[in-house]
Amino acid sequence: MTSESVLRERGLRVTPQRRAVLQYFLIHQGEHQTADGIWTAIQEVSPEIARGTVYKALHDLINAHVLEQIPTLSGGDLYGLRLTPHHHFVCLSCGRVDDLPASFHPEIAHPDIDSVASITTIDVVFRGVCHQCSLVHSS
């Protein structure tokens, strides 16, 4: 899978900026990053890319369901690849976000809203303390 093929598959025009942002995520699959973190990483390869251009590319990729935007407890957002359905675990201590496989099915009550809405997406976020932080706090 290449950034060009994903962009075309999702109906987006292939631009150097979109390719650069998507390529970052294809290389760092499973990682979640801030917009400024992405911009900083891309600047090492493409110093001419502007911060606003990265934000625009992120927005386009989110609308095409290629990336996802995850709000953090600190008020910022993290971005991650969303080519396959999955859940998230957010550590309340260090803020790290990990992907959990979609096959992980916690018991969740489904509200009876078929009469008033049509559900298109379910986003599940588990919050707790990651293994690494729990080791630090138990020492």
Which long-range contacts (C-beta less than 8 Å, at least 24 apart) are formed by 73-77?
76/34, 77/34, 77/35
Confidence of residue 118 (pLDDT cuts 50, 70, 90): confident
CATH 1.10.10.10 occupies which residues in the chain?
1-83
Q: Angle 63-66-119 (CA atoms, 0-180°, nearest 5)?
A: 65
CA distance 70 to 34: 10
Task: Indicate the DSSP class of residue 33.
Answer: B
CA distance 57 to 53: 6
Does residue 30 have a pLDDT over 90? no
Mean pLDDT (the chain) is 87
Angstrom CA distances, 69 to 28, 33, 59, 88, 110, stand at 16, 10, 9, 12, 23
Q: What is the pTM of this model?
A: 0.79
Mean pLDDT, rounded, for 29-54: 92
Question: Under DSSP, is residue 68 helix (H, G, I), strand (E, B) or coil?
Answer: strand
Note the pLDDT of residue 23. Answer: 94
CATH 3.30.1490 occupies which residues in the chain?
84-139
- As a residue count, the chain comes to 139
Site of tokens 């992907």: 99
- Look up the CATH number of domain 84-139: 3.30.1490
Strand order in the sheet with 125-128: 97-101, 86-91, 125-128
Does residue 112 have a pLDDT over 80? no
Q: Structurally, what CATH architecture does the domain formed by 1-83 represent?
A: Orthogonal Bundle (1.10)
